[in-house]
Amino acid sequence: MGQESNSQKAKAIFRKHGGLLRTRDIIALGVQPRTLYAMRDAGELERVSRGLYRLADLPPLGNPDLVTVAMRIPQGVICLISALAFHEITTQVPHEVYVALGPKAKKPRIDHPPIRIVWLGDRVLTQGVETHEIDGVSVNIFGPEKTVADCFKFRNKIGLDVAIEALRLCRQRKKSSVEKLLHYARICRVEKVMKPYLEAML
């Protein structure tokens, strides 16, 4: 089979899987490494990140950083500033992708985008997770209320002012109930810290 027909077969596989695949998945689906690299060199594929390729003729990704992290770190959950920005409950601009991982997870090696790992216990990691479809990829992101509670939990890392702003915007823009916010505050063990700020906003 010539390189052109190999390339057509590989493109069909990519399209069937949303145009974005990890190297190991591409090879497992029957595409030879030499075909993959020939397509990259010919400009038919773009390297999104190490071990992650995308068809070059697709429209640009709307949120390439979150999509890349979701593909490279499927067990992770987008959290803190990155989740606040996604839910539009912050004025902060994340300069790295904040990703929560469980205690047994290995530290991922990823060259781009820059990431900040947050380690959470299994119970806290599994609460309040939402799955959003971004650019055809399923991305795990903490919901707004859980993210606010996490911001209070990690206030020494990201700043108490960021957490308070997120709480205010969550109440205003997401119409979040006090009960739901306090539910996640209890899970994150920050109810005593968060409650006075929440009461001041009522």
CATH number at residue 92: 3.30.460
> What pLDDT shows up at residue 1?
46
Domain count, the chain: 2
Query: Looking at the structure, do residues 169 and 125 belong to the same domain, yes or no?
Result: yes
- 76 and 145, same structural domain? yes
Are 69 and 47 within one domain? no
Strands (E), 35-128: 45-49, 52-55, 77-78, 97-101, 115-119
pTM for the structure as a whole: 0.82
CA geometry: angle 168, 129, 118, nearest 5 deg: 80
State residue 192's pLDDT score: 96
In this structure, the answer to whether residues 68 and 121 fall within a common structural domain is yes
pLDDT reported for residue 2: 53
What are the distances in angstroms from CA 1 to CA 7, 9, 11, 37? Answer: 10, 10, 15, 16
Report the helix count and the strand count for the chain, using DSSP H and E: 11, 8
Confidence (pLDDT) at 47: 87
What is the reported pLDDT for 3?
A: 57
If asked whether residues 47 and 99 sit together in one domain, one would say no
Task: Looking at the structure, tell me whether residues 41 and 129 fall in a common domain.
Answer: no
Place of tokens 């409650």: 195
Residues 86 and 158 both lie in one domain: yes
Question: Which residues span the domain enclosing 30?
Answer: 3-55
124 shares a domain with 28: no
| pLDDT lower than 50: segments of the chain | 1
Shared-domain flag, residues 33 and 73: no
